[in-house]
Structure 1
């Protein structure tokens, strides 16, 4: 379960408290339709102040959860790595900034690049009383992705951005990312389209000399059958009362599906295998669907007779690394 930090939840709820519930719900219906379309657009998905606050209400918790889950896997693979500087490209109201500082509290500086001034204004407002000095003191820069040359950083995050770009713009953005010397983390919706964008970026970064950090345990071609399946993971998100009201939802949680890739031209560490489906548990058995270090998909059955390994399998979750 990925919860927003309490200081962020408090700030977000305070920002939402002045907006009538009916307005939140109506704007949510319009924005969620456009978000699900996953098509490049000539205008940002957040076009007005009402759009910004509503989008933040229903997407910021999920974006935080997805980015945090991806970066947490990086921290597992690179336990001695602590980024000093983050560049968050297309960062909206700062969900990836909050996620990075939650994974690496020692992160000392961050820059958020966003083209919508209203999103920057809300992001700054949410960060005013953050416990993390890096969140409070982050630099917020207004700029279009296709008109900006990115500064260097040892952690670059790009979350839920590629879907708003044309294929040519996506390639241009990834080409810029390929020049970075630190970690590059790309996160997209866990849909067939999101996976296709991630795997295209993955191939482009590998061709430019990057190596995979997560989730892939290899630098070979993705073994997922294209057009028949897709690689994605999930992170459970707690819904606040305002979050439920905005979405017209009854459950106190939701599962955010996401696809991601993290690469670097200078760092190297990969999981031996990666669990790519929810483990199936039967009496005395755990079945794991693995993407393996040799670039193949494999089913592994772990029985109770295997003792320590069986206990580890019972505690293993979808998306975790697995020895082998």
Structure 2
């Protein structure tokens, strides 16, 4: 039986169908307010999405980028544990469900529960899921819950927490990560690819390790991050195709954008992390490729791959930021 799996294109189509007629001026104003909120430095400890217009603007503005960022993190989990398939999934602070769309695209049929404190977001997410044509999404449960302190989670295979920690106080962040670690077999946390987003990921990573989980990605190990605090930050990039609706709401003219994000994946089951990961965009020069790597045994390292490396050089010319190194078929 052929089962429909969600794609970036199907998400854009569902958004276009649901948000057709959204007044551009109203949407633009809501987006401006949301941008100011998300880029601010003070945790809100309250829902950022207040009403239907906020949620509609958010969905058009953020869902495609969140989908691509989470999909990248899930792909790294699949690479580290190719035989593992979650039967249940809880999307904490899932809002309109972008992470749940990504999960439904990575594995066929996990039973998903989306938790969020903004009822308008849950309502729109439920409508979008109904337009998806994907059984797992259409059967998802959408439940209102206060995210952060005192959140109770039933045992689940997979927990996703995407672009949520920024909205919480420090205490609520730590409690949320601890609850996720206790409930799940695998935890995927995604934050903006900024210095403060990376700092929240490192904080969460440390707590997940302390709770007994093993880092599956992006790091090649569960030891301390080799980046000296304050000198740099680990982040990655996902290409996001813009629909006409997306361009209209965000005021952009390009057909795509690059979403910068930081993430951590940790599990309670055995995984095989990569030997090294490309942590910056590869620099292609005449006859050579310069790679910035995070390695399992040597920490941060730079590698220059030249033509004399033959097959490895050809692989390096095709390698992308965030990929494993060396590729499995060249080892």
How many Å separate the matches in 2 of 1:295 and 1:93?
A: 41
How many Å separate the matches in 2 of 1:47 and 1:181?
A: 29
How many Å separate the matches in 2 of 1:42 and 1:285?
A: 49
2:255 matched residue in structure 1: 252
How many Å separate the matches in 2 of 1:245 and 1:4?
A: 21
How many Å separate the matches in 1 of 2:80 and 2:35?
A: 34
1:52 matched residue in structure 2: 55
Residue 317 of structure 1 deviates from its aligned partner by: 0.4
Please, which of 177, 190, 200 is the counterpart of residue 203 of structure 2? 200
Q: 1:150·1:176 contact (CA, 8 Å) conserved in 2?
A: yes
Residue 4 of structure 1 deviates from its aligned partner by: 4.8
Q: Does 1:274 align with 2:296?
A: no
2:142 matched residue in structure 1: 140
How many Å separate the matches in 2 of 1:5 and 1:253?
A: 12
* 1:216-249 CA distance string (max 9 Å, x none): 0011110112112100000010111111111111
Residue 169 of structure 1 deviates from its aligned partner by: 0.8
Residue 96 of structure 1 deviates from its aligned partner by: 0.4
2:239 matched residue in structure 1: 236
Please, which of 31, 35, 48 is the counterpart of residue 38 of structure 2? 35
Residue 295 of structure 1 deviates from its aligned partner by: 5.4
TM-score (structure 1 length as normaliser): 0.96
Residue 181 of structure 1 deviates from its aligned partner by: 4.3
Q: 1:63·1:95 contact (CA, 8 Å) conserved in 2?
A: yes
Task: Name the stretch that deviates more: 153-162 or 71-80.
Answer: 71-80
2:3 matched residue in structure 1: none
Q: 1:155·1:183 contact (CA, 8 Å) conserved in 2?
A: yes
Residue 38 of structure 1 deviates from its aligned partner by: 4.6
SS at match of 1:34: helix
Task: Note closer, same or farther for the CA distance 1:295–1:44 as it changes in structure 2 (3 Å cut).
Answer: farther
Q: 1:4·1:64 contact (CA, 8 Å) conserved in 2?
A: no
How many Å separate the matches in 1 of 2:301 and 2:91?
A: 35
Tell me the matched-pair count.
Answer: 321
SS at match of 1:222: coil
SS at match of 2:84: coil
Q: 1:271·1:321 contact (CA, 8 Å) conserved in 2?
A: yes
TM-score (structure 2 length as normaliser): 0.94
How many Å separate the matches in 1 of 2:140 and 2:302?
A: 45
Q: Does 1:65 align with 2:68?
A: yes
What are structure 2's unaligned runs of at least 5 residues?
A: 1-5
The aligned runs of 1:63-142 (5 Å cut-off) are: 63-104=66-107, 106-142=108-144
Q: 1:7·1:131 contact (CA, 8 Å) conserved in 2?
A: no
Aligned-CA RMSD value: 1.4
SS at match of 1:129: helix
2:161 matched residue in structure 1: 158
* 1:155-181 CA distance string (max 9 Å, x none): 110000000011111111111122134
The aligned runs of 1:176-215 (5 Å cut-off) are: 176-215=179-218
